[in-house]
Amino acid sequence: MDYRGNVRRNENPREKANLMSLITFLYTRRLFFRGFIQDLEEDDIYEVIKTCKSKNCGDSILEPEAISKLVGYFKPGQTHLTTHDAIVWTGVMIGLKLLHCLYFQNYLIYINQLAIQIRTAYCSLIYRKSLKLSPAALEKVSSGNIVTVITKDVLQLETSIWLFNDLWIAFIQTIVLCYLIYNRIGMPSLVGIMFLIGAIPIQVFIGNRIKNLRMKMNKRTDERLQVTQEMLSTIKIIKMYTWETFFAGKIDVARRKELKILMKNYLLKIVLIISSLFVANIGFYALIMMYIWMNTNISAEDIFYIMRVYSMLKYAVALNVSVGSTKMAELVASFNRIDAIIKQEELPVELEIHEEKPEIDLTNVSLRLGGKQILRRVNIKAVTGLTVITGQLGSGKSSLIKIILKDYLIDEGKLNIKGTRSYASQDPWLFPSSIKQNILFGQKYDYRRYQTVVEVCALKYDFSILKNGDETIVTDRGLNLSRGQQARINLARAIYKESDIYLIDDALSALDIRVQTQIFRDCIKGFLKDKLVILVTHNKKHIQSADELVVLENGTVKFNGDQQDLSEDLIRVLEHEDPNMELENADDNSLNDEKTRLLDDLIGVEKKQVYFESKKAGGVDFGVYKKYMKYGGGVFFLIFIFTMFIASTLSESSSTKMLSNWVNQKTVISAIEDEGDYTISNLSTQGSIILDGSNNITQTTDLLKKTWVDSKKLENEAAGTLNMYSILMVATMLLELLKFYLVMKFAANASIRIHNDMMQNLVNSVMGFFDNCFIGNILNRFSQDLSVIDEHLALALSSLFGISFALFGTIGLIASVNWKFIYPSIALLAVLVVLRMIYIPTSRSLKRLEAATRSPLVGHLNSSIEGLTTIRAFRAQNILRDEFDRHQDLYTSAHYTSMCSRTAFSFYMDFSACLYISFIISRFLLFEIDTAAGDVGLTITQAGSLSMVVQMAMMVWSEVENLMTSVERVLEYTNLNPEEKTGLEISEWPHKGEINYVNVNLSYEENDEKVLKNINFTVKSKQKIGIIGRTGAGKSSIISTLFRLYNFDGQIYIDDVETKTLSLTFLRRHISIIPQDPITFSGTVRQNIDPLDEFTDDDIWKTIQKLNLNNIIPNLEMRLEDTNLSSGEKQLICLARAIIHKNKIVVLDEATANMDPETEFLIQKTIVENFSACTVFIIAHRLQSILDCHKVMVLERGEIVEYEDPLILMNDKDSMFSQMLRNAGIEH
């Protein structure tokens, strides 16, 4: 939860803009000015408009008629249209363009605003639903699935909302346009119409296939993101295990499956688009042929009228249906995935009521999870006082707590809870924000209570050594804090909330004896003395202090009553735990205890935001385009693609010119046959075009010989022109298909290679990168940014290439009528380029802000899912929901502002295009009165096309640059600072396990304070070394240098070989670590123990039997995500990894801190049996566990203050170690 809360922003200028400002987008001028002179920042984003708060085509049919009338005016010998009529129709055409300019962009604003509202509503709905999902539902719906739905599927809704409006408009347009064609030419129109309508079933079929592929692809995306999230959450342990290659390979397999479906999706989209264009063009061709066959007199105005109306009909039917089918198919797939989440089982919400006499009463309660019986007929009654729950590993203690929280739905029995509840989880859950906000967790700040809670939870010392105290920022899951700090903050949150019932699930096991004793005395037995407290623990002293004791065994209550009434058998079980095996240094067991101040320095005292991301400034560097081109296939492949686009454009332009020539030829033939008395002057103009296909070639003197021109010869020329038109149409279709395929192949190549490079660079990057990054920021790159590259950039590039070459083709066609028209065309292009220069800096900055403001959404969502039990226990759903809404409002505001700037850009381009068309038509009326009718029709239609093409070129060009910001962002991950992995690999090394540190110094950042200072010590073969020290002493840093997680000064020798000279993978593979926090991954038991396939099934099974895991693991192919393993059982899996590798050096991060006595005894016995011949480092939390070590290392502020035999230190009453023992109450 972001501690910043509500941030006041400037009101969106659209809210108070007047009518003129609204329709002309003048309210965006200040935004463009600011974006032009400097890069926009988050503070420049306006307040989201009220209607988008998370919480809360008939006139166009006159255009073909206007074109027809204007073309008819230029027909030789016509008398029915006067100059006045031509001017009127010119005014109609220009007026329609202006009206379209004014209404269409504003229509887009409102339709996009509606789309944003729908997207925002669905995101909020899904987030709210995720907070209610039952444990059974969470097994079906992974966090990766929810992230995909919010970042991809909901976005699909937003980008497809226009479909609902456009389809019914297209239906009306289709009826009107069909009538117009039929009314004009009669029966021939039915041929073209049937071609368009007959293709609809095929397009719908292809659309349905696309929908199915979309469902499959999104499932693969979920799998990829789930594995990526698992890897990022445990990257440090993965590096220590040298499992980077395994996880990168696992993600690569999911990615290849995803891209295989994506390529099929690409191909189907290509087939759909090309088939639509092919059917439309063939339909037009068939219509013209039928028209010619049934009519002897061909008029230019009819041809161009049909051409324009059929073009509109093609858009209404072919393109709307093809694009609509695709979008609708993807929309249905997205709706299905959203619906799958919405329909999942959710937990009922119950009101908590404060009770003076709180009570917990369970009667014959039974629970099954995943087909496994967890609890059987449990009967427990608890009242005010301390009730302790203890029991063996996997006996159901945590499940019982979750039943009391009503986080698990019971199968049988009755549950009666009276009073409000608070909860401290066994595994601390912290979210990215300040420590203070993690404690308050939305509760009203009470200074006195807050200070008391900080005191009784032993946090005062920690706040004093942190640069920013309780305002220190916590990273994902609190990984920049020590485990002890995490546990105490987690506990403080539970204690700060004023409740009747406090449920503490083994939250004290990670604390040292001094801190644990203080908290138990001051907090559990002091501050909470008048409350109902349920404490899960194995600590005998706590058990002895209980008012009520509950002992669980195999899911049943073995004992419930006063601990003094325990049977001798149960006493023996509980006494497996030595009373002296208390925690002295667990407060700093995390491998992150020295890096908290690193994050402090990175964020700074002001701490502007939690999810900070570096944001590029200025334009997208050419190097980004160059690298993307290289990923796509290189310069030669791109040249080949350009060649296909040029050939396609030439073919299409030539076919259009052939049609114009044919119209001119047929016009003259009709004139020869029916109007022999037309004037010589008109004829001379027409003849010059007929004979040579261009103006001013045949002299007027040649045309005076017209009387002997053979009409049959002209018919043959017209037939040849028509044949050439037919050939060019077929060639255009084939080239269109080829060029689309090549662009999609180019984009697919880039997607595959970019992801591979991203992942390889990510897993091999230095640990410092992960220390400084939030998981949400990284997942944003691998979800939304990669989705843009996969799906949107390919189509945008295809459009850019096609439109760019079509632009030059259209200019060429216009110039073929009159070369002087090049000047206004170039002027239009220049005006739009200037507009783009003004628009793109603002647009680019907003696009980057969009991407940056999306990271908090993803991070907040992930964090919420991880802490669902705690969130529900605190009834904090509304608090988290409001926080999600704030993140979403910030993103929506950036997104909406970007959309407004884009629409304003389109408006001014539209207006410029209107002026251009007005100039072209006016020139014909004033200066080109003798131009052939066919050429007038060609020029006017192409001028209209040119204005549209230039606008689209500018828009798509800008859109490509905006989309390239996603490429820019992901390419940042292809240039990460890698670990130096090359080096020696020595056979049979290490054979002894001797370790020697020589003048080792470590700083996490250059010029930062040293966390290890001049470390020198030697460890002999088979020795066991206990490492202890307070917060920030340097315990984790010692281990980090052993694994070379960070660069350090000095030398470390293992068996006389300097570790810096060794291959990094080789070094880490020969050192085993058993972390305190048990780490397991989705996959089989075999994959969790031996993911690199180094051992046989027999070897793995023997290891499992040593740890008595064969009772819960029936086979090695059992998937761990489908089981309900306890924390202790997961720890046994971690121990199995270390045992099977049989390395000479082992690091134990107190693997038994959360174990029941019997399991702990088993593990201690197994460690002695399997690691007796190993050199062992023990990060000590239980002082008793290091008393039999050969040496104890005491660290203080990064320096070794004591390093000696524990017996010698014990006998030295002035030694720090001896003082620790006395404080722990251990006799020596």
Helices (H), 1077-1205: 1085-1089, 1097-1106, 1127-1141, 1157-1171
Helices (H), 131-243: 135-140, 143-148, 154-160, 162-185, 188-198, 200-233, 235-241
**DSSP, res 1072:** E
- Considering the domain architecture, whether residues 1205 and 1064 belong to the same structural domain is answered as yes
Is residue 1083 assigned to a domain? no
CA atoms within a 13 Å half-sphere pointing along the CA-CB vector of 254: 19
Is residue 177 assigned to a domain? yes
Backbone angles phi, psi at 385, to 5 degrees: 130, -175
Is residue 1118 assigned to a domain? no
Domain boundary (343, 369, 390) is at: 343
Identify the bridge partners of residue 373 per DSSP, sorted by sequence position.
Answer: 368
Mapped onto helix, strand or coil, the DSSP state of residue 1095 is: coil
Q: How confident is the model at residue 298 (pLDDT cuts 50, 70, 90)?
A: low
- Considering the domain architecture, whether residues 496 and 596 belong to the same structural domain is answered as yes
- Considering the domain architecture, whether residues 323 and 363 belong to the same structural domain is answered as no
Is residue 348 assigned to a domain? no
Q: Read off the pTM.
A: 0.64
Report which listed range, 145-154, 650-659, 1079-1088, is most confident. Answer: 1079-1088
Q: Kindly tell me if the per-residue pLDDT of 135 is higher than 50.
A: yes
Mapped onto helix, strand or coil, the DSSP state of residue 1182 is: strand
Backbone angles phi, psi at 677, to 5 degrees: -95, 10
Dist. CA 570–CA 591, nearest whole Å = 36
- Considering the domain architecture, whether residues 328 and 437 belong to the same structural domain is answered as no
Dist. CA 654–CA 38, nearest whole Å = 46
- Considering the domain architecture, whether residues 195 and 298 belong to the same structural domain is answered as yes
How high is the pLDDT of residue 688? Answer: 37
Q: Kindly tell me if the per-residue pLDDT of 687 is higher than 50.
A: no
Looking at residue 474, which CATH number applies to its domain? 3.40.50.300
Find the mean pLDDT for residues 199-228. Answer: 81
Question: 993-1018 pLDDT, tens per residue?
Answer: 999 999 999 987 766 678 889 999 99
386 contacts 525 by C-beta, under 8 angstroms:
yes
Instruction: Please give the residue range of the domain that contains residue 327.
Output: 142-215+264-343
819 or 265, which is more confident: 265
Instruction: Give the residue from 914, 590, 776 showing the smallest Cα distance to 147.
Output: 776
Question: 919-974 pLDDT, tens per residue?
Answer: 766 666 555 545 545 455 556 665 666 556 666 666 677 778 778 888 888 888 88
Locate 82 and state its tokens: 């006067």
Find the mean pLDDT for residues 449-466. Answer: 88
- Considering the domain architecture, whether residues 188 and 277 belong to the same structural domain is answered as yes
Locate 748 and state its tokens: 């697919």
Task: List all residues 6 or more positions away from 1168 whose beta carbon is below 8 Å from its beta carbon.
Answer: none
- Considering the domain architecture, whether residues 412 and 561 belong to the same structural domain is answered as yes
Locate 517 and state its tokens: 């004793």
Backbone angles phi, psi at 390, to 5 degrees: -135, 175
Dist. CA 823–CA 718, nearest whole Å = 32
Backbone angles phi, psi at 1033, to 5 degrees: -70, -30
- Considering the domain architecture, whether residues 571 and 500 belong to the same structural domain is answered as yes
**DSSP, res 1227:** -
> In which region does residue 999 sit, left (phi positive, over 0), alpha (psi from -120 to 50) or beta (all else)?
left
From residue 1074, alpha-carbon distances to 428, 949, 1089, 1107, 1136 in Å are 19, 64, 12, 14, 9
Question: 1044-1082 pLDDT, tens per residue?
Answer: 998 899 999 999 999 999 999 999 999 999 887 778 888
276 or 119, which is more confident: 119
Q: What amino acid occupies position 478?
A: G
Is residue 942 assigned to a domain? no
Task: List all residues 6 or more positions away from 1114 whose beta carbon is below 8 Å from its beta carbon.
Answer: none
1032 contacts 1183 by C-beta, under 8 angstroms:
no
500 contacts 354 by C-beta, under 8 angstroms:
yes
Find the mean pLDDT for residues 250-256. Answer: 89
Domain boundary (585, 603, 621) is at: 603
Task: List all residues 6 or more positions away from 984 whose beta carbon is below 8 Å from its beta carbon.
Answer: 1057, 1061, 1062, 1063, 1066
The H or E element spanning position 1192 is strand 1191-1196
Q: Kindly tell me if the per-residue pLDDT of 123 is higher than 70.
A: yes
- Considering the domain architecture, whether residues 484 and 561 belong to the same structural domain is answered as yes
Q: Kindly tell me if the per-residue pLDDT of 982 is higher than 80.
A: yes
Dist. CA 252–CA 259, nearest whole Å = 10
Dist. CA 62–CA 177, nearest whole Å = 11
Q: Kindly tell me if the per-residue pLDDT of 606 is higher than 50.
A: no
Q: Kindly tell me if the per-residue pLDDT of 613 is higher than 70.
A: no
Query: Structurally, how many domains does the chain consist of?
Result: 3
How high is the pLDDT of residue 55? Answer: 46
Is residue 403 assigned to a domain? yes
**DSSP, res 48:** P
- Considering the domain architecture, whether residues 314 and 463 belong to the same structural domain is answered as no
Q: How confident is the model at residue 62 (pLDDT cuts 50, 70, 90)?
A: very low
Task: List all residues 6 or more positions away from 75 whose beta carbon is below 8 Å from its beta carbon.
Answer: 299, 300, 301, 667, 933
- Considering the domain architecture, whether residues 564 and 597 belong to the same structural domain is answered as yes
Is residue 1017 assigned to a domain? yes
DSSP calls for 354-389: --SS-EEEEEEEEEEETTEEEEEEEEEEE-SEEEEE
Is residue 1010 assigned to a domain? yes
pLDDT over 90 percentage in the chain: 7
Domain boundary (603, 621, 639) is at: 603
- Considering the domain architecture, whether residues 332 and 372 belong to the same structural domain is answered as no
Among 253-257, 580-584, 1164-1168, name the one with the lowest average pLDDT. Answer: 580-584
